[in-house]
Amino acid sequence: MSEPRKLVIGAAPEGTRDPDAAARAVREMFTSIAPRYDLLNHVLSFNVDRLWWRRTARSFAHILAQPDSRVLDLCCGTGDMTFALRKQAGNHAPQVLGADFSHAMLQRAREKSLPKISNGKSGTPHWIEADALCLPFPGQHFSLVTSAFGFRNLANYDAGLREIARVLRPGGECGILDFSEPKGAIGHLYRLYFKQVLPRVGTLLSGVRGPYAYLPNSVERFPEPQEMLDRMRRAGFREASWTPYTFGIAGLYRGKK
């Protein structure tokens, strides 16, 4: 019989003993890989990441089609999920905001915005440096809050869900896209790739030891879908659901306030 999983509070990179230290380590880790983050993302995911961001944005087309919607993409990093939301919105121009606590990651997002601005594209996203666990927004402000591959890195998952619920309007929706561990034969292949190949290639290409070993560990620690859905319900979300993407390597959690 397999051992029951321990209740995990949040991300805890190796060597960190409390949530503050974990958050600091996470921020330093992403800051250290910011210059090569996009390249590594696309190489290591064989570009499937682009499909996942687009698919997630499409799931919220009904909100993005409303000009008075306010959209927040948490842990936006270099902004690819944020740009996918913006693109899905088309000419409808709701306000789309990307937030992250790593200055270096946001800097890359801003640089990627510049060609869009100079091409005269209206409604490019806005960027803000902010901690997802303590957002500088009033309650009931947003129609949609998303997070792609960021939520798993929070030092406290329940606090993260409560903060998302706080800033959402009643009826507002949340979408959390993140990795999960597939089962069966695909699971074997996935573990081989994620634990053996990816940390080596990631370390080689980024020139930084650590972050790409942390990635598979953080996915292993992350609550299984059923537990994540229970946590979402406890944080006040209804209609909580999980849709697996690409054999369950990733998946989208959704919930309504």
Q: What angle do CA 232, 102, 126 make, to 5 degrees?
A: 80
Work out how close the CB of 173 gets to ligand SAM at its nearest, in angstroms, rounded to a whole number.
17
DSSP symbol at 222: S
Q: Site residues (CB under 6 A) for ligand SAM?
A: 23, 26-27, 30, 41, 75-77, 80-81, 100-102, 105, 131-133, 148-150, 153-154
SS3 177: strand
Whole-angstrom CA distances from 248 to 26, 33, 184, 208, 233 are: 25, 26, 11, 28, 21
Work out how close the CB of 149 gets to ligand SAM at its nearest, in angstroms, rounded to a whole number.
4
Question: Which residues are paired to 245 by β-bridges?
Answer: 250
State which residue, 68 or 97, has the beta carbon closest to ligand SAM.
Answer: 97
State which residue, 188 or 209, has the beta carbon closest to ligand SAM.
Answer: 209
Total Cβ atoms within 10 A of residue 257: 21
Work out how close the CB of 191 gets to ligand SAM at its nearest, in angstroms, rounded to a whole number.
19
- Chain centroid, CA 29 distance in Å: 15
Work out how close the CB of 80 gets to ligand SAM at its nearest, in angstroms, rounded to a whole number.
5
Q: Are strands 168-179 and 250-256 parallel, antiparallel or unpaired?
A: antiparallel
Work out how close the CB of 4 gets to ligand SAM at its nearest, in angstroms, rounded to a whole number.
27
State which residue, 118 or 137, has the beta carbon closest to ligand SAM.
Answer: 137
State which residue, 31 or 95, has the beta carbon closest to ligand SAM.
Answer: 31
Total Cβ atoms within 10 A of residue 50: 13
State which residue, 14 or 68, has the beta carbon closest to ligand SAM.
Answer: 14
Q: Locate all alpha helices (DSSP H) within 61-210, ordered by sequence.
A: 61-64, 80-89, 103-118, 157-167, 184-191, 198-206
Cα separation, 132 vs 250, whole angstroms: 21
Yes or no: say if 72 and 142 are a contact pair by the CB < 8 Å rule: yes
State which residue, 129 or 239, has the beta carbon closest to ligand SAM.
Answer: 129
State which residue, 176 or 229, has the beta carbon closest to ligand SAM.
Answer: 176
Residue nearest to ligand SAM (CB): 77
Work out how close the CB of 234 gets to ligand SAM at its nearest, in angstroms, rounded to a whole number.
20
Work out how close the CB of 43 gets to ligand SAM at its nearest, in angstroms, rounded to a whole number.
13
